[in-house]
């Protein structure tokens, strides 16, 4: 029994070191304290069969490899974990639908209270465009940002013109769109000597 404890302790130390885990980190993975891991590594005890299977799974070896000499080890092939990916268009669509639903709920609630504020529905347009700008920047490297920013500037100008009843604001749209176009075409150049 003492020889089995020593073999297990040696194997556990080697596998834990190869995995780059501390005793505490290994303990977290199998839901045991680092004191238990330390006790096993000092060959003072051997864990029960359930814990042995957990350890074998963590290190990708068989249970018998934990209890036998190194020359008899066989690593078990772990299936490769594939990262979970979500459908980007679906995420974007759900987010936009949520924005419009919230604006519509607020509009209806205000209407029930006797106040009709069309600006609430109009505000959904720039909020949607800002959301699209974020998604486009994160997921699509900002390839269409110029168009989204242009639409954002246009929507804000139209909302201000409608809300303030100042149609002169519409005169600002062409120069603002030119600024957006030029800003989106700024490129960094290498200094030439």
My answer on whether 62 and 95 are in the same domain is no
**Phi then psi for 107, rounded to 5 degrees?**
-60, -45
Q: Would you say the pTM of this structure is higher than 0.75? A: no
Question: Is 192 a domain residue?
Answer: no
Question: Is 35 a domain residue?
Answer: yes
My answer on whether 62 and 106 are in the same domain is no
Question: Is 190 a domain residue?
Answer: no
Number of domains in the chain: 2
Q: List pLDDT tens digits, range 107-137.
A: 999 999 999 888 888 999 999 999 999 999 8
pLDDT score at 185: 81
Q: Is the pLDDT of residue 42 over 70?
A: yes
- The CATH number for 48's domain is 1.10.260.40
Question: Is 159 a domain residue?
Answer: yes
Q: Are 149 and 133 in contact (CB under 8 A)?
A: yes
Q: List pLDDT tens digits, range 143-157.
A: 888 999 999 999 999
pLDDT score at 143: 83
**Phi then psi for 61, rounded to 5 degrees?**
-125, 170
User: What's the Rg (C-alpha) of the chain?
Assistant: 31
My answer on whether 42 and 6 are in the same domain is yes
What lies within 8 Å, CB to CB, of 102 at 6+ separation is none
Question: Is 61 a domain residue?
Answer: yes
Question: Is 77 a domain residue?
Answer: no
Max mean pLDDT range (40-49, 81-90, 126-135): 126-135
Residue ending a domain, among 42, 72, 102, is 72
Provide the angle, in degrees to the nearest 10, between the axes of the packed helices 23-30 and 2-19.
100
My answer on whether 59 and 95 are in the same domain is no
């Amino acid at each position: 029994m003492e020889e089995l404890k020593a073999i297990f302790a040696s194997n556990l130390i080697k596998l834990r070191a190869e995995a780059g885990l501390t005793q505490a980190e290994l303990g977290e993975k199998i839901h045991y304290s680092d004191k238990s891991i330390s006790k096993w590594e000092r060959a003072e005890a051997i864990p029960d069969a359930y814990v042995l299977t957990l350890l074998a799974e963590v290190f990708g070896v068989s249970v018998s490899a934990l209890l036998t000499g190194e020359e008899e080890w066989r690593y078990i092939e772990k299936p490769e974990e594939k990262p979970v990916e979500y459908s980007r268009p679906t995420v974007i669509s759900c987010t936009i639908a949520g924005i419009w639903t919230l604006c519509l709920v607020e509009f209806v609630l205000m209407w029930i209270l006797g106040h009709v504020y069309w600006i609430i529905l109009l505000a959904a347009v720039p909020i949607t465009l800002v959301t699209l700008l974020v998604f486009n920047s994160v997921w699509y490297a900002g390839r269409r940002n110029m168009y989204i920013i242009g639409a954002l500037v246009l929507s804000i100008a139209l909302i201000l013109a409608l809300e303030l009843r100042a149609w002169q604001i519409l005169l600002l749209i062409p120069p603002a769109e030119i600024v957006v176009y030029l800003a989106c075409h700024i490129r960094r150049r290498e200094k030439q000597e």
